[in-house]
Structures are given as structure tokens and as C-alpha cells.
């Protein structure tokens, strides 16, 4: 389970005035894939406790409304309170976006806290495995 994937279709609301997908759509798709990963390994995890710490993406090909895409997300690193992911969005003609983001697990007061042990045990063995 080193890579978790989801698929979708570019919605009209994901596009900008040029008719191509808006750059922020790729981040939403990657975040939705991350959340699907959490739910698949630990259904009761509090998804709201993982705010973004850093993000980066490079764009290679456009997608337009109606195009099918797949997001492949890999756990790159599991730290004490953070998790780093790399991801690729592919479309009909190949790679469209390559990205990465890091999240920090926070406690109820919003301060960094250790990644829940059950989640760490499921994600850490796969980190960087693909």
C-alpha cells in the first residue's frame, strides 16, 4: 500500500477562464486522495487535525472540463508530528501535475502533536517504498 490512488473527472468549476483546470484544483484532488488514504487505514482518524505545513507543485499538461484524471499519492516520510506526501496527477495524455505537501498533526489547541500511533504504524512502513 505504498501508493494510494483516486480518480475523477474535471468539473467545469475546476476550470478557469482559459477553460483549463485551475492550479488549485490539483491541490484539492491531492488532499481528497490523502483523506481517502486516512479513511482506508484508520476510519475514525480526525482529518481536521492535519493542516498543511508546506506545498509545491509543477504543472506539465493542462486538463479541461470532462477529462478523466487519476491522483497517485505516496507517503514519502512519517516524522514525529508530520507526514510528507508526493503525488502525481495523470490525465489522458500522461503526467499533468507533480506535487508534494507536508502536514502536521495538531492537538485540540492547534499545537503540533505526535502522529497517532495507529496511523504511524500503518503509514511508516510504506514511506518511500514505491
pLDDT, tens only, 78-104: 999 999 999 999 999 999 999 999 999
Question: Which regions of the chain does DSSP assign to beta strands (E)?
Answer: 3-9, 52-59, 68-78, 82-91, 94-104
pLDDT, tens only, 7-59: 999 999 999 999 999 999 999 999 999 999 999 988 888 989 999 999 999 99
Strands 52-59 and 82-91, sheet pairing: unpaired
Give the H/E segment covering residue 26.
helix 23-41
Distance CA 92, CA 77 (A): 29
Residue found by looking up cell 499545537 in the block: 111
CATH class of 3-126: alpha beta
Distance CA 66, CA 45 (A): 32
| pTM to 2 decimal places | 0.91
Amino acid at each position: 500500500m505504498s501508493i494510494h490512488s483516486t480518480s475523477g473527472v474535471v468539473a467545469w468549476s475546476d476550470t478557469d477562464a482559459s477553460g483549463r483546470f485551475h492550479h488549485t484544483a490539483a491541490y484539492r484532488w491531492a488532499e481528497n486522495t490523502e483523506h481517502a488514504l486516512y479513511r482506508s487505514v484508520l476510519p475514525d482518524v480526525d482529518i481536521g487535525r492535519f493542516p498543511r505545513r508546506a506545498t509545491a507543485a509543477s504543472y506539465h499538461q493542462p486538463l479541461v472540463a470532462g477529462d478523466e484524471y487519476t491522483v497517485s499519492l505516496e507517503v514519502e516520510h512519517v516524522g514525529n508530528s508530520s507526514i510528507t506526501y508526493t503525488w502525481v496527477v495523470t490525465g489522458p495524455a500522461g503526467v499533468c501535475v507533480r506535487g508534494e505537501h507536508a502536514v502536521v498533526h495538531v492537538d485540540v489547541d492547534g499545537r503540533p502533536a505526535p502522529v497517532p500511533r495507529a496511523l504511524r504504524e500503518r503509514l511508516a512502513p510504506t514511506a518511500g517504498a514505491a
